[in-house]
Structure 1
C-alpha cells in the first residue's frame, strides 16, 4: 500500500540525496546528489539543489536515480500467455505461434496483451518499449495494438508486422499502409517501425516491404541470425539492395558470420540482444562478444514473456553471464585463463538505457540523466530489503543485485507512473478481465486438452530443419548442410 500521496500532475519533483547514475557521455556517477524535474524535463542535476516552491521532494537516500530503461524488442501481444512456454524450444514456439495458435488471436486479444505488457514494463522501470507486433493480421488487429499503447503509461514504438502473410503483401496493402501512416503521425507514440524478417530467398520478395518503409520514412527491425530461420543470405540481400542503414535494428544476430557483422557495422545499424531468449530458445549463442569485436552498437530486450523474464535487470544479468561464460570457455579450450572481464556491469547498464535510445534515434531526448532531456527517470530504492545496502558499486548493484521489486518511483516525462513501489492511476482489474477473456477464448478455441498438451507441442517432421515461416515456400539449405556434415550418423539415420 502507498503510505504517502504521489506528486500531483505538473508539480515540480526533486529527488534528493541519492546516487545518480547519469549515463552521460562521461558516465558520470554522483553520490549524495539531487535531480530536479520541471515541466516534464530534467532541469538540474547536482548537489544541494534548492527545491522550487511547491516542489514534491522524494528522498532518494539509500537509492539510485537512473534513466528509464528502454526495451527495443518485445512481442507485447503474447503477454496473455505469460510463462506458458517456459519449457519450449524455438521450434515449439514456431509451431505454436506461427503455425497454430497465434492466428486465433482476436483484435481484443492483441489489446489485452499489449495493455498488460505495458503495465509490466513500467512496473519494472522500463519507460520506453518497442512493441515488435508481428501478430497484426488485419487492420483491426493493428488498431487494437495502437489503441492499447496510446492509452497505457509509458512510451512506445509500434513495430507493425504480420507473421501470417508475406511482408510484401501486408506492407503494400493500401489499408495497412494507411494504418501505419496514421501511427507514424500520432504524437502519442514514440515512433513506428516495420517489423519483418528476411528469409534469404534469392528472389528477395521482402524488397516491397523495404520500399514501403522507405516511402513512409520509418525504420525496419528484423530478426536476423536466428538458427534455422534467418541467416547471412538475408543480410547480404539487404546490403546488396541498399536496405541497410543506421536506423535498422537487427534482433538476436546470433548465428551470423563475420561478413554479416561487418556489413552491419559498416552501415551503422545496431543489434538488440535478447540474451535470455537466445540462451534458452536456440537462436544461437548470445553474440555480445562478436558485437563488441566489430564495434556494433547494442541495446537490450525482453523478447516475450511467454518464455522469459519481462524486465531488463534480468537481461543485464544474463548478458553479463553469457558473455563471460563464452570468454572463459574459449580460453579454457586453449589452456588459457581469463583474468579480466571485458564486458562490465557499466556496459550492460548503458545498453539497457542509452543504447536503446541510440537504437531508436532518440538519444537527444531520452536515455540519460542530463539537463534538458525528458524526465524519464527511475528511483531504485527499497529500505525494507537487506539486498539494497551497502551500495558500493552502483553499476554492479543495478546489474547484479537489483530486481523489479526494488523499483520505488518511475517518471515518464515528469509524470509519476509508479510511486513507493505501487503503480499509479492504473486499472489492474480491467487489464485482468481482458486477459482472462483472452485465455478463456484461446482455451475454448483450441480445446482444453490441446491447450494443456501444447505446452510441449509435437514438432512436424518437415519443419524441424526448414525455415518455419508460413509466408514463403523458400527453404534454406543452411541447417540441412550442417546436419548432414556435423551430426553423428546415429542421429542422421
Structure 2
C-alpha cells in the first residue's frame, strides 16, 4: 500500500476562488497534505505525471435521485405532475432494496466518471443507497424521501430516524444523513413541522423540493395563503441547515427569506428545462447571498448525471432567459459546481476546494484535446468547451475511484447487467 499520492507538475484551481495555479498536489490520509512546486517525492508515494492535467475540486451534486437510473428515458416529454403520477410513482412502488442498490450504482458509475465526488440524494430504500455509496467510495448526504400525505403511520419518518442512527457520520464522516420531506405540496404544514422537529433534535438538516412548478406555487397560495418558501419557513424547516431543490418560482420576499436563513438551493437546469418547469432566478439568488449549488436530479428527468453538463446549462440558461450575457459567468458556474455546492450542504469546511487540510476530492481533466487548445481561461474552457469524457482520474477522500474507463472499487460488468435486467423487469411487470 502506498503512503499517498503525489500529482506532479499539475495545473490546478486553488482555494475557494478557484485560482489557476501550477505545482504539485500531495495526498495523504484522504486529505490534501501539501501544495506547491517541487514537493519532495518521498518513498512510498504513488507518483503521477500530472503535467497534462487540469485538476479541479470534485463536483458536488446537490440534488439527485440516483436509483432513478433504472427509469432513464421512461415517461419523458411530460410535465412534472403527469410524469410523476402516471409514470414514475406507479413504478417506484415496485422497487426493492436490491433494485435501488443496483440502480444507485449505475448512477454512481456515471457520476464518478464525470467527476462527481459528492451527492445529496433523496429516495426510498435509503439503506441500499447508503451501501452503494459506501461501496463506490463517493461522499454522500442522504435523506429518506417522505410524502407526508402517504405517511399516516409515520413509517417513512421512522425510516429516516433509523437511517440517521445507522449511517450519520459513517466512514469517518463521509456519509451524512438529513431529513427528506418530499415537497411543500406533498406534505401538510403539520407534517413538515414534525419532520423539522426530528431534524432539530438530531442537529441535522433537511432536503426538500420547493417551488418547482407554477402549479405548486399557485396551489399552496390558494390553499394556505402562503408561498411554498413562506410555508416551509413557518413550519420550521429553516431553523437548522436546509437545502431546497429547484426554487424556480420565487417572490422577492422568498429570496430574502432564503438568504436571511442561510438556506441553500440546488439548481437543476436540465431537469427544469426538460419538464418545462421554468428557470430558477439563479443570478438574483446569488446576488442576494443565497448559496446555489448544481444538481442533476434523477436520470429520468435529466437524463444525464453530469454536474459539469448542468453547470454549462446553468450559465447559458441565465443568459438566455434574462437576455444578459454577463449573468452567471463561467467562473461563477464552476464555483456553484464546487465550493458553493459544498456551502449549500454546510460541508465546505471539509470539501469543495483545493486547499491544504481539506479532503482530497479531486478531478483530473486531460487537456490534450483540441477543444482545450488554447486554454486562456480554465473556467471558460471547462464550462463552455470541456466534456465529461475529458475526466481522466478522480479521487474521493484520497482514493482513486476512477481512471481511464476503470472503476477500481466496482464490478461494472455486474452493475450494468443488474441495471438493465432490473429496469426491464420493473417496466414489464
TM-score (ref. length: structure 1): 0.79
Check conservation: 1:277, 1:303, Cα contact below 8 A: yes
Q: 2:363 touches 2:393 (CA, 8 Å); kept in 1?
A: yes
Task: Report deviation, 1:115.
Answer: 1.4
| TM-fit CA distance, 1:144 | 2.3
C-alpha separation between the residues in 2 aligned to 1:369 and 1:102? 39
**Does the C-alpha gap of structure 1 residues 13 and 242 become closer, same or farther in structure 2, counting only changes over 3 Å?**
same
Q: Find the counterpart in structure 2 of residue 277 from structure 1.
A: 271
> Larger % of strand: which?
2
Q: Aligned pair 1:415/2:399, yes or no?
A: yes
Q: What is residue 91 of structure 2 aligned with on the other side? A: 101
- CA gap of 1:360–1:293, structure 2 versus 1, over 3 A, is closer
TM-fit CA distance, 1:352:
0.5
Residue 316 of structure 2 corresponds to which residue in structure 1?
Answer: 321
- Higher mean Cα deviation, 402-411 or 75-84? 75-84
The yes-or-no answer on 1:62 pairing with 2:45 is: no
Is 1:36 the counterpart of 2:26 in the alignment?
A: yes
Mean CA deviation greater in 302-311 or 93-102: 93-102
Q: CA deviation at 1:176?
A: 5.2
Q: Report how far residue 26 of structure 1 moved.
A: 4.1
C-alpha distance in 1 between matches for 2:350 and 2:203: 20
Q: 2:370 aligns with which of 379, 382, 386?
A: 386
Counterpart in 1 of 2:211? 225
Q: SS of the counterpart of 1:390?
A: coil
* 1:198 paired to 2:184: yes
Which of 284, 295, 306 aligns to 1:290? It is 284
| CA drift at 1:146 | 2.6
Where does structure 1 differ by over 6 angstroms across 4 or more consecutive aligned residues?
none
Residues 63-122 of structure 1, C-alpha deviations (whole Å, 9 max, x = no match)? 201111110110112111223344333233212455422212122111111111121111
Trace 1:43-192 onto structure 2 (pairs within 5 A): 43-97=33-87, 99-133=89-123, 136=124, 141-163=125-147, 166=150, 169-170=153-154, 174=158, 177-184=161-168, 186-187=170-171, 189-192=174-177
Indicate how the Cα distance of structure 1 residues 126 and 202 shifts in structure 2: closer, same or farther if over 3 A, else same: closer
* Native 8 Å contact 1:168 1:207 kept in 2: no
Work out the CA distance in 2 between the residues paired with 1:168 and 1:290.
Answer: 38
Q: 1:131 to 1:388 in 2, by over 3 A?
A: same
| Paired positions, count | 418
Aligned to 1:402: 386
In the alignment, the residues of structure 1 paired with residue 39 and residue 405 of structure 2 have an alpha-carbon distance, to the nearest angstrom, of 25
Contact 2:342 2:348 in 1 (8 A): yes
**CA distance in structure 2 between the aligned counterparts of 1:173 and 1:312, rounded to whole angstroms:** 30
Whole-angstrom CA distance in 2 between matches of 1:146 and 1:27: 30
1:275 Cα deviation from its structure 2 partner:
0.9
Q: Could you say which structure has the larger radius of gyration?
A: 1
> 1:198-252 deviations in whole A, cap 9, x for unaligned?
2298754322121122223221111111212356533222323433146110111
User: 1:10 touches 1:39 (CA, 8 Å); kept in 2?
Assistant: no
What is the alpha-carbon distance in structure 2 between the residues aligned to residue 411 and residue 377 of structure 1?
5
Distance 1:174 1:378, change over 3 A: closer
The DSSP-based 3-state class of the residue aligned with 1:229 is helix
- By how many angstroms is 1:305 displaced? 1.2
Q: Quickly say closer, same or farther: Cα 1:213–1:172, change in 2 above 3 A.
A: farther
Q: Quote the residue 2:195 is aligned against.
A: 209
Unaligned runs of 5+ in 1: 1-8, 329-337, 446-493
**Other-structure match for 2:359:** 374
- In structure 2, the residue matched to 1:312 is 307
Structure 1 stretch displaced more, 79-88 or 197-206: 197-206
Separation in 1, partners of 2:231, 2:159 = 28
**Counterparts of 1:397 and 1:374 in 2: how far apart (Å)?**
25
TM-score (norm 2): 0.90
Mapped contact 2:7–2:25 kept (Cα < 8 A): yes
Q: Is residue 430 from structure 1 mapped to residue 403 from structure 2 by the alignment?
A: no
Determine the C-alpha separation between the residues in 2 that align with 1:438 and 1:391. 43
* Corresponding position: 1:14 with 2:6: yes
Aligned-partner SS, 1:422: coil
1:223-262 equivalences under 5 Å are: 223-227=209-213, 228-229=215-216, 233-245=227-239, 247-262=241-256
Paired with 1:143 and 1:202, the residues of 2 have a C-alpha distance of 26
Check conservation: 2:66, 2:298, Cα contact below 8 A: yes
The structure-2 alpha-carbon separation of the partners of 1:324 and 1:245, relative to structure 1 and needing over 3 Å to count, comes to: farther
